[in-house]
Amino acid sequence: MPPVSRLLIDRLPGSKIREVADAGIGRSDLLPFWFGESDEVTPAAIRQAAADSIQAGETFYSPNLGLPELREAIAGYVSTLHPPLGAARIAVASGGVNALMLALQALVDPGDEVVAVVPLWPNLTAQANILGARVHRVSLRFDEAGAGSRWVLDLDRLLERVTPRTRVLLLNAPNNPTGWTLSADEQRRILDHCRRTGTWIVADEVYERIFFEHDAAAPSFLDIADADERLIVVHSFSKSFLMTGWRLGWMVVPEAMASAIGKLIEFNTSCSPVFVQRAGIAALLQGEPLVRDVVDRLKICRDALLPALAAVPGVRVATPPGGMYAFFAIDGQTDSLALAKRLVADAGLGLAPGAAFGDEGEGWLRWCFASRDPQRLVDGVARLRGALGV
């Protein structure tokens, strides 16, 4: 039978994380840490704002780029963290993943070269592939130094790979799945290099607030870039504001590009639902207390999981400076999908296989530590020990 869709789409691999999750359906004793979301519900005030909007009859279309009041609120929020910018540079999207697709649709033609730092959340490279781009991957390296183990980027290698032929450089930092984070100096070198090559930077900074090195945020390209740079920064309400299921995100773009993004939003989703945008406004009004509470609890969870995990014989893991994941390998385990399925079946433990993040992640597992109760994480490690017989 011939393909029922484009051959490229037929060949696109499905989500290996979903494949593992499907294997756990129906288990009442399961401890699931496979998806990248907290097990906490969205705060009541945010939920109430959406309910009030629906009750008020706000069930109609909004402007393509988002409600003006939400764009203003986002611009104000961003300006508390980075050099001030105006609402004209903000585009509201139906989630961070939608924003990333919009960015690539605006920039990439079939055959264009895209460079990505990996391992990486698979949606980013899949989106580029769907658009017909040629994706070149530059891998992080696990620098094993005992308690000081960390993920590192060979910056010279990356800059050699980014040439005048490179249309887009995809960067996700803090990184999903490793927690690796770019330093401000690295960002400056990358930006200077991309200015010379004429390369656009698409920076997925969804985890910028989930950063444990200091109180504000991870380094951002917005701190060093001019307003009209070839730079698109993508953010989301999902992680820092506990709103994964709401599907609400935003983009910071050069002002001259906003109208083009508006066109693309029209042809993709038309707009984000008004009541969801009202919830976003409420989240920003709660602001720093909510975000700090989320980050403080995530740090408690990280600091409960990582020592317990590192103490398991054969485990190699680095303490992530940002994000909400522990990315770890186990000596002798090379098939991450098979291992993840076995952990579900034998231990009721749900983890994401590293192979879901590309070939560079094979042999590794991702553990999302965003949990209401850190004890669940410790219990999960006990189940891992039991399954491994250690």
The span from the CA of 336 to the CA of 320, in Å, is: 20
Based on the domain organization, do 181 and 75 belong to the same domain? yes
The span from the CA of 96 to the CA of 87, in Å, is: 18
Tell whether 178 is covered by a domain. Answer: yes
- Name the DSSP letter for residue 257: G
Tell whether 363 is covered by a domain. Answer: yes
Based on the domain organization, do 71 and 164 belong to the same domain? yes
Based on the domain organization, do 166 and 222 belong to the same domain? yes
The span from the CA of 174 to the CA of 191, in Å, is: 17
* Residue 52 pLDDT: 98
Based on the domain organization, do 117 and 224 belong to the same domain? yes
Last residue of a domain, one of 240, 270, 286: 286
Comparison of pLDDT for 337 and 6, the residue scoring more: 337
Based on the domain organization, do 28 and 49 belong to the same domain? no
The span from the CA of 88 to the CA of 275, in Å, is: 22
Q: Which two tokens stand for residue 387?
A: 């399954």
Based on the domain organization, do 279 and 307 belong to the same domain? no
Domain residues for the domain of 272 are 44-286
Output the pTM of the full model: 0.95
Strand spans (E) along 173-252: 200-204, 231-236, 249-252
CATH of residue 35's domain is 3.90.1150.10
Torsions phi, psi for 370 (to 5 deg): -80, 90
Summarize the confidence of residues 128-152 as an average pLDDT. 92
pLDDT digits (tens, 9 = 90+) for 79-132: 999 999 999 999 999 999 999 999 999 999 999 999 999 999 999 999 999 999
Tell whether 1 is covered by a domain. Answer: no
Angle at 244 between CA 350 and CA 17, to 5 degrees: 30
Q: Which two tokens stand for residue 42?
A: 């969205």
Percentage of the residues of the chain whose pLDDT score is greater than 70: 98
Q: With residue 104 as reference, give the H or E element that holds it.
A: helix 96-107
